[in-house]
Structure formats: C-alpha cells, structure tokens
Amino acid sequence: MTDDRMLRTSRNLPFTPKEVYSAFASAELLALWWGPDGFTNTFEVFEFTAGGRWKFVMHSPDGADYLNDSFFEELVPDTKIVIHHDCPPNFKLTISLTPEGDGTRLTWEQVFDNAETAHAVKKRAGLANEQNIDRLTTVLREVSN
C-alpha cells in the first residue's frame, strides 16, 4: 500500500495532452516552469529518453541552490512521464495525461521511500506542487498565444 507514502494532485488543464507533454519534453520550456514560485533552474544534463538523466540545480528566491539528480524511467508520448528523483528526498514521480473534453486531466503522484519522508515533504511540497502546475499553465498559455 503506497497511500501513506504518496502525494497526489490532479487538475484539468485547458491544453491538449500533446501540448502538456511538450512542456516536459523541451528543456527550454521545462526550465521556465519547473519548481515552486520564484525558483529558477540551471539544467546540467537533460536526456528526455527512457533511462535518460536529468541533472539540474534549482535556485530558490533566497539564493539557496538545490542539486537534483533524476532519471526518466518511462516516457509514453502525450500520456505518461515517470521520473525517479535519485537524491534526498528520493521519490518516484508519475505524471499522467488523460484527454478530458478540450483539455487534459493532469495527475501528479509522488511516491516516497517511506511514510515519514512523505509526511515531512507534504508540509512544503503540497503547495509547491500546486505552484508548479500553475507555472506550467502560465508557460503553456504564453507559448500558445
């Protein structure tokens, strides 16, 4: 049972699954929106293929830098992205894209190694994940205009 180790959020977006998937597949777009409000990113490695690495630094508004090292476990175009975050806090992120009306139902599920880590991260990541999706929506609006 993973419910005690999982953070989940879901939202309808007014974009096609292809448009949402492209915002993950493009390093240039992803760097613009990945992370909570005020964060920026410097990508060192971005190999958007199954098994490919994604290594980057998130820069917080207060000047702190956070190294992130991940790999893409599974990529199903316009449908699913599975990312393993291989540095603390370790987790597996599954992003599912389901057509819904004229848009997409995005489901974001993070599964942590244990319930204690999930609980500790939930205090800050719940809002951060929502901000991340807000930023994704803003970037997609800008590129579709």
Determine the pLDDT at residue 63.
Answer: 96
Determine the pLDDT at residue 1.
Answer: 53
pTM, two decimal places: 0.93
Determine the pLDDT at residue 124.
Answer: 67
Tokens describing residue 125: 């990541």
Determine the pLDDT at residue 31.
Answer: 95
Compute the Cα dihedral for 89, 119, 96, 23 and give only its sign: negative
Side chain identity, residue 2? T
Determine the pLDDT at residue 145.
Answer: 75
Q: Identify the segments of the chain with pLDDT beneath 70.
A: 1, 124-126
- Longest C-alpha distance within the chain, in Å? 43
Decide: helix, strand or coil at residue 67.
strand
Tokens describing residue 29: 């777009």
108 phi and psi, to 5 degrees?
Answer: -120, 115
Determine the pLDDT at residue 112.
Answer: 92
